[in-house]
């Protein structure tokens, strides 16, 4: 286990009440109660495909306002964990608690209404619908909310390219534009917890920079983000905290900077 002090001073401030008597190393390890109640609390998560278990009872906690990265090799179970949170993958053990409510029996659609919104792996925009329809469907859970039209305008200001292409079928966009659309679509739901599944997958380096720039912007706006990435260095660089997942188990956790500088993590996921 790699457990070290959070590098981001802001998080540290928020995380550690001045009168907390415990030593710093204990307080800031993320799963500690010192941060207050987590927004998302995963305990003993087990799930699998058929008889093959993909996640072997892992614990993850995400606190309000945090950006947390989950890194690991292909097939480690990263996307499976995100699907467990969003409700697409059924649990065989453990509990998913969101904002104090046990979500184990809630379906994916119900979880969206509670504020858990996932940007799926590989974008998965609705290819045969227009860009604007895709964004509007993102707000499906708040379709009776009068503010949706304003939010659409705000989304176009954030992603001007989407406004330009709003009448086109989403399938005609480039990979990077589709990723922006998928993120815009998710933001239209006003997420309390945004789950990003491999946002950089299959994109050119320049576009990846742009996507991570957007994630950093969202982080600054205070949105709680859980990002799953194979591109570990980019993800850990913007994250407050990180988890390293290896064949269904969490093998390391700590602040993003710490993990970035950790030798074993470097060797395994950052290309030495």
Partner 1 sequence: MFSEFFQFTFSGVTLGAIYALVALGFTLIYNASHVINFAQGEFLMIGGMGTVVLMDAGVPIYFAIPLAIAMAGVAGILLHRLAIAPAKNADVVTLIIITIGASIFLRGLAQVFWGKEYHALPNFSATESINLGGAILLTQSLWILGIAAVLVTALGLFFTRTTLGKALLATSMNKDAASLMGIKTGAILMMAFGISAVIGAAAGVIVAPITLTSYDIGIMLGLKGFIAAAIGGLGSSTGAILGGLLLGLAEAYTAGYISSDYKDAVPFVIILAILFFLPNGLLGSRAVERV
Contacts (CB under 8 A) with partner 1, residues 171-190: 171, 185-186, 189
> How far is it, in rounded angstroms, from Cα 63 to Cα 58?
17
Q: What are phi and psi of 187, to 5 degrees?
A: -65, -30
> How far is it, in rounded angstroms, from Cα 169 to Cα 64?
35
> How far is it, in rounded angstroms, from Cα 22 to Cα 132?
51
Query: Taking CB under 8 A as the rule, does residue 108 contact partner 1?
Result: yes
Q: Where are the beta strands (DSSP E) in 65-220?
A: 67-72, 93-98, 101-102, 116-119, 193-197
Q: Which is nearer to partner 1, 118 or 224 (CB)?
A: 118
Q: Which is nearer to partner 1, 27 or 185 (CB)?
A: 185
Nearest distance from C-beta of residue 141 to partner 1, angstroms = 3
The contact pattern for partner 1, residues 118-157, with x = CB under 8 A and - = no contact, is x-x---xxxxxx---x--xxx-xx-x--------------
Nearest distance from C-beta of residue 140 to partner 1, angstroms = 5
Q: What are phi and psi of 48, to 5 degrees?
A: -165, 175
Nearest distance from C-beta of residue 131 to partner 1, angstroms = 13
Among 25, 26, 36, 113, contact with partner 1 (rule: CB under 8 A) = 113
| Residue bearing tokens 């467990």 | 84
Query: Taking CB under 8 A as the rule, does residue 78 contact partner 1?
Result: no
Q: For the chain, report the end-to-end CA distance as a whole number of angstroms.
A: 19
Quickly count: other Cβ atoms within 10 Å of residue 100's Cβ: 9
Nearest distance from C-beta of residue 171 to partner 1, angstroms = 7
Binding site for partner 1 (CB under 8 A): 86-88, 107-109, 112-113, 117-118, 120, 124-129, 133, 136-138, 140-141, 143, 171, 185-186, 189
């Amino acid at each position: 286990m790699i457990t070290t002090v959070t590098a981001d001073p802001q998080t540290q401030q928020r995380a550690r009440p001045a009168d907390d008597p415990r030593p710093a190393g204990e307080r800031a390890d993320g799963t500690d109660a010192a941060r207050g109640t987590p927004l998302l609390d995963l305990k003993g998560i087990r799930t699998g495909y058929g008889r093959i278990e993909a996640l072997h009872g892992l614990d993850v906690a995400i606190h309000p306002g945090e950006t947390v990265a989950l890194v690991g090799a292909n097939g480690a179970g990263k996307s499976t964990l995100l699907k467990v949170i969003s409700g697409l993958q059924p649990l065989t053990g453990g509990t998913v608690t969101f904002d104090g409510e046990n979500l184990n029996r809630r379906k994916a659609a119900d979880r969206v209404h509670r504020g858990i919104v996932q940007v799926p792996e590989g974008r998965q925009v609705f290819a045969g619908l227009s860009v604007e329809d895709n964004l509007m469907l993102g707000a499906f859970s708040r379709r009776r909310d009068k503010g949706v039209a304003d939010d659409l305008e705000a989304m176009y200001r954030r992603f001007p390219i989407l406004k330009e292409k709003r009448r086109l079928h989403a399938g005609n966009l480039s990979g990077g534009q589709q990723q922006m659309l998928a993120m815009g679509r998710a933001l239209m739901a006003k997420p309390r917890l945004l789950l990003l599944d491999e946002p950089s997958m299959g994109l050119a380096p320049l576009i990846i920079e742009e996507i991570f720039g957007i994630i950093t912007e969202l982080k600054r706006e205070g949105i709680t983000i859980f990002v799953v990435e194979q591109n570990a260095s980019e993800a850990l660089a913007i994250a407050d905290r990180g988890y390293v997942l290896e064949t269904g188990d969490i093998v390391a956790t700590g602040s993003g900077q710490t993990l970035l500088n950790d030798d074993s993590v470097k060797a395994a996921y950052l290309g030495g």
